Every structure is written in C-alpha cells, then in structure tokens.
Structure 1
Amino acid sequence: MFKNRVLGLSLLALLMFMVSCKEENKKENTAAIKEEIDDIVLDTIVEPKIQKPVFKSLEGVADTTFVRLADYSDGFAYDLRYATKNNFLKEKVYDCGECYTRAKTVKALLKANEEFKKHGVKIKFYDCYRPNSVQYKMWKIVPNPQYVANPVKGSIHNKGGAVDITLVTLEGEEVKMPTDFDFFGKRAYHDNFDLPQEILDNRKLLKETMEKYGFWSTRTEWWHYNLKGASNDPIANFKWDCNEI
C-alpha cells in the first residue's frame, strides 16, 4: 500500500511537471509569435515622406506677364483685405482673395523677402494687383481721389506694379507699425516721427529694404509701395478664376 501511494505521488508530480512544461512552452511560443508579429509590423510601417512644394520658375517669363505669387514661394503671408469687409470701404470688392502681379514685381518681391528673413521677418500682403473693374467698384463706393484713384486714370495697382504690405515674424506674428492698413491720417505718414522707437525702426526696415530692391514709397501711406517704372505699364483688367485657386 505504501508503494502504491508513493507511485501515485510520483505520477502526480510527473503530471504536474508536464503541465508546467507545457505552460512554459506556451508562454515561450506566445512571446515568439508576438515578437515575430512586432517585427512584421515594424517592417511594414513606412515613415511618411514630407513632400516639399515645387514652385514655378520665372526664368523665361516676360516681365509684364501676370503671375500668381504663391506659385513661386511659400515664404509670404496674406491678409487680402478687399476680399473681405475689413477695409475702409466696408465692402467686399474681390470675389476671392489672391495675390497676382507682374513677373518683374514678383522678382523684386522675392529678393526683398529674402533680405527681410535675415531680420527674422517676412512680407504680408494686404493688396496686390487690382483689376481695373475692381477699381470702378471702389470708385463707386468712395468717389474721392484722396482715397481711391480714379479708374479712368487708373492706379499702379491696376498696372500690376503696386503692393500694400506690412511685416510679420517668420511665425506670422504681427510686427508693430504706425497704424492699421488703410488708415488715412498723419499717423500713417512716413514723415511722422512722433511714434515709439520700435515702430519707427520697423517702418524704417520696411521702407529701406523695399527701396533697396526697386520700390518707392508713398509719403502718406506707410504700407504702399510701387515698383520703379511700373507707372509706364498699361492699365490691366486681367481677372483670376476663383474656381482654379
């Protein structure tokens, strides 16, 4: 009887050992399978490639051709006010906001913007080329040559040689300037020096850099710049298609 009891305990111990081995093998197999699955997953994960935008070249483009600025650089900022009601007219006069201008103006703007970037800022646009038909809309709302150029004579904006701009940091933060865009008063004049030094420095940087690259300023509007020689270009009524933007 004693021998039978010992034999039974031995068999029970053997059985428990076999079960333990089976569980251990199961854990090992599970771990191996998990590791294999992880390897497969890692092998199939592909890091997304960041596609750099491809910009057009101005090489071979005639200086008087109208082009879309955003096709040549993503280094600018935009707040195209006349495509909104946030302007002195209190009316939206563009169907959609877009910055077109003549190729020669774009060339000068690209060079000026590279200079600005060295100072940690970049150009932000309030207005660029303006179709003559829009000039008529503006004249109808405010028929006063002190604020709106007579559309018969036309504005340099209508010729693709004028831009209304300010500066923002490379992250898009506003740089302090004398006034908001389209403020009509002495505070917006270039010869007004009764301003904080920071604002005077920002206005000076804008003016001197733009003049360095072929633009001239308007005494009463710190934001307005005309490309030299652009006043000789014809008035244009080229219109961009909002559906293609």
Structure 2
Amino acid sequence: MACKDVTPKKKETIKAKQETMVKDTVAASKPLRKTTPLHLLADTTFVRLADYSEDFYYDLRYATTNNFLKSKVYDCPECYTRVKTAKALLKANEELMEKGFKIKFFDCYRPNSVQYKMWEIVPNPQYVANPVKGSIHNKGGAVDITLATLEGRELDMGTDFDFFGKRAYHDNYDLPQEILENRKLLKETMEAHGFWSIRTEWWHYNLSAATNDKIANFKWECTD
C-alpha cells in the first residue's frame, strides 16, 4: 500500500511531538555490560543480550537498508531488552537448543526516537506503530525473531521478515506442512515462556509482563 507524503506542516507537528516525547520519556537505568547477574538486576533494567549468552543469532535489519523502510535507522546493530524479557528469551532459547534450534533476532528494543524516524519514512499505522503512543519495542518487551539450526541455517517460515501480506499470517494454514510446523514450534515455545504473538506477523512476539512498562528512549553506544 502506497503511503501519502507528509506535508511540511505535519512534519513540523511530528518534530514537535518527537521533541516532547524525548523529554517526557522515562529512560531506563544505564544498561549494564556483563558485570551483574540478571537475577540481581531490576526487571525493568535494560541489558545487552549478547553479554548474557553466546547462543543467539542476529540479523538486525534496521541497522541496514535490508528492510521494508529501505533505510538504516540504527547507528549500529545491537539487541537490548529489559531484564525480564532477557530472562524469558534465555529460557525459551535453552528449550529450543535441546531440540536443535536457536533464536535469531531481526529487531529487539527500539528507542522511541527511532520509532519517530520510522514513522517519518512510513507514516502508516498498518506497518509502523504511531510513535506518540509508542510500540512495545520501545518498552524493551518485544522482539522480531525466527529460528535457525545449531549450524546457523534459518528455518523456512514461508516469508521473509517484514513481509506484509496474508502469507505471513498465523491463521493462514494454506502453506506447506514444513512451514506450518516451523511456525508452530516457534509460537508454542515463545508462548510457553510468557510471550504472545500478533495475527499478521509470524516473527513478532511481545512479553505479556512488559505491556504496561514505560516507553524508553536510551540509545546504546556504538563501540566499533
């Protein structure tokens, strides 16, 4: 679906709202880098997943132009979540590894300022959450993921990440059995560890316990 151009007046309004949101957002405490065990941290603290496990794969699309926006909106690829989200992901991944698979991330925590960047490119709530209200990605409680084998081969999920069409719907059963089984494995495992899915995107999962968390806007440091 084509998106209408944003008028100068609307751009000014978006910019003003962005400035207000950045001021009003409640930033999390400074992310910690593998110095404190997760169980000693507050559940709302943000952590870098790679500091707590080497057993994940990453293909963080919004740090590249290989995404539906056709634009790079992150300065560098990192995957941060709240502690409670990280705990649930670690448990889900541990279960999956016993079956021969690992979680692969396309997107994790997303600063609210990045949500505004995305909205300026595609101001359509069908594809991008309105940054004024925010996304659960902005709360550190949502992840976009797929599954890969222990050797790194992605499982066939029927579409690429951010494919907006019926083929990506969870309730579309008109697909090869292998694809349905792969989606089922991902969905059932994530739901068993406190996540819920949305009907139209097989890759998107929200942690139920993060729904009421505050929107955050901290930005990680790029070390390379």
Q: TM-score range by the shorter chain?
A: 0.7 to 0.9
Query: Any conservation in 1 of the 2:183–2:202 contact (CA below 8 Å)?
Result: yes
SS state at 2:89 partner: helix
Q: Give the structure 2 partner of residue 91 of structure 1.
A: 71
SS state at 1:93 partner: coil
Query: Any conservation in 1 of the 2:82–2:140 contact (CA below 8 Å)?
Result: yes
Q: Give the structure 2 partner of residue 231 of structure 1.
A: 211
**Matches of 1:169 and 1:145, distance apart in 2:** 34
**Matches of 1:76 and 1:160, distance apart in 2:** 17
Indicate which of 108, 114, 130 corresponds to 1:150.
130
**Matches of 2:39 and 2:201, distance apart in 1:** 33
Indicate which of 100, 103, 108 corresponds to 2:83.
103
Root mean square deviation, CA, Å: 1.1
Q: Give the structure 2 partner of residue 141 of structure 1.
A: 121
Residue 139 (structure 2) pairs with residue 159 (structure 1):
yes
Q: Give the structure 2 partner of residue 113 of structure 1.
A: 93
Q: Give the structure 1 partner of residue 159 of structure 2.
A: 179
Q: Describe the superposition over 1:50-92 as per-residue Cα deviations: whole angstroms up to 9, x where unpaired.
A: xxxx885212100000000000000000000000000000000
Higher gyration radius (CA): 1
Q: How does 1:203-214 map to 2 (within 5 A)?
A: 203-214=183-194
**CA separation of 1:138/1:60 partners in 2, compared to 1, >3 Å: closer, same or farther?**
same
**Matches of 2:154 and 2:40, distance apart in 1:** 35
Indicate which of 69, 83, 86 corresponds to 2:49.
69
Query: Any conservation in 2 of the 1:135–1:149 contact (CA below 8 Å)?
Result: yes
SS state at 1:171 partner: coil
Structure with bigger RCO (C-alpha 8 Å, 6+ apart):
2
Structure whose residues are more often helix by fraction: 1
Aligned length: 191
SS state at 1:226 partner: strand
Q: Give the structure 1 partner of residue 201 of structure 2.
A: 221
Letter in 2 for 1:186: K
Q: Give the structure 1 partner of residue 14 of structure 2.
A: none
Query: Any conservation in 2 of the 1:55–1:72 contact (CA below 8 Å)?
Result: no
TM-score by length of 2: 0.84
Task: Give unmatched runs, 5+ long, in structure 1.
Answer: 1-53
Q: Give the structure 2 partner of residue 188 of structure 1.
A: 168
Identity %: 80
**Matches of 1:110 and 1:217, distance apart in 2:** 18
**Matches of 2:153 and 2:159, distance apart in 1:** 16
Letter in 1 for 2:134: G
SS state at 1:165 partner: strand
Q: Describe the superposition over 1:114-136 as per-residue Cα deviations: whole angstroms up to 9, x where unpaired.
A: 11011100000000000000000
SS state at 1:239 partner: coil
Query: Any conservation in 2 of the 1:81–1:126 contact (CA below 8 Å)?
Result: yes
**Matches of 1:112 and 1:231, distance apart in 2:** 19
TM-score by length of 1: 0.76
**Matches of 1:120 and 1:106, distance apart in 2:** 20
Letter in 1 for 2:166: K
**Matches of 1:212 and 1:56, distance apart in 2:** 27
Q: Give the structure 1 partner of residue 9 of structure 2.
A: none
